[in-house]
């Protein structure tokens, strides 16, 4: 299993990346959303999360993909990409939970091209 560990002065957070659906930017904070809909907020920006994923996961970091300024998603949970409706649906297909994200048409077109080419 792969974990990201966040240790600050006030708290310690251990994140199991197998259960992360997406990371969402909120200024200098990042919300981490899990398959069970639980959300954890950490005091790092999304670009720092992206860097941590790249350095700690190396070749397995490709499982996560940055979409625009707001999201890093776990590509294994992609259910549907709909650029016309500007919707991305994510699900682990176990918890019967679907996450609907509103993302720009251009970003979804790019994501669709990346996924289809693989």
Q: Which helix (H) or strand (E) holds 82?
A: strand 78-82
Contact between 25 and 45 under an 8 Å Cβ cutoff? The reply is: yes
Model confidence at 1: pLDDT above 60: no
- What pLDDT, in 10s, does the model give residues 68-87? 899 999 999 999 999 999 99
Q: How confident is the model at residue 117 (pLDDT cuts 50, 70, 90)?
A: confident
Contact between 103 and 88 under an 8 Å Cβ cutoff? The reply is: yes
Q: How far is CA 116 from the centre of its chain?
A: 19
Mean pLDDT, range 16-44, rounded to an integer: 94
Read off the DSSP letter of residue 85: T
Cβ-Cβ contacts under 8 Å for 94 (sequence gap 6 or more): 35
What pLDDT is stored for residue 101 in this prediction? Answer: 97
**Backbone torsions φ then ψ of 76, nearest 5 degrees:** -70, -15
Mean pLDDT of the chain: 91
Domain, as residue range, for 8: 3-117
Number of domains in the chain: 1
Q: Report how far residue 40's alpha carbon sits from residue 78's, in angstroms, rounded to the nearest whole number.
A: 21
What pLDDT is stored for residue 118 in this prediction? Answer: 73
What pLDDT is stored for residue 73 in this prediction? Answer: 97
Q: What CATH number is attached to the domain comprising 111?
A: 2.40.50.1020
- What pLDDT, in 10s, does the model give residues 33-73? 999 999 999 999 999 999 988 888 887 788 999 998 999 99
């Amino acid at each position: 299993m792969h974990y990201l560990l966040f240790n600050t002065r006030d708290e310690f957070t251990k994140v199991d990346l197998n259960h992360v659906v997406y990371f969402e930017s909120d200024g200098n904070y990042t919300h981490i959303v899990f398959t069970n809909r639980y959300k954890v907020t950490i005091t790092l920006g999304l670009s720092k999360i992206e860097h941590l994923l790249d350095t700690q996961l190396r070749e397995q970091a490709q499982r996560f993909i940055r979409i625009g300024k707001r999201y890093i998603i776990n590509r294994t949970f992609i259910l549907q990409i709909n650029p016309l409706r500007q919707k991305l649906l994510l699900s682990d297909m176990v918890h019967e939970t679907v996450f609907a994200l509103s993302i720009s048409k251009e970003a979804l077109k790019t994501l669709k091209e990346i996924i289809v080419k693989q």
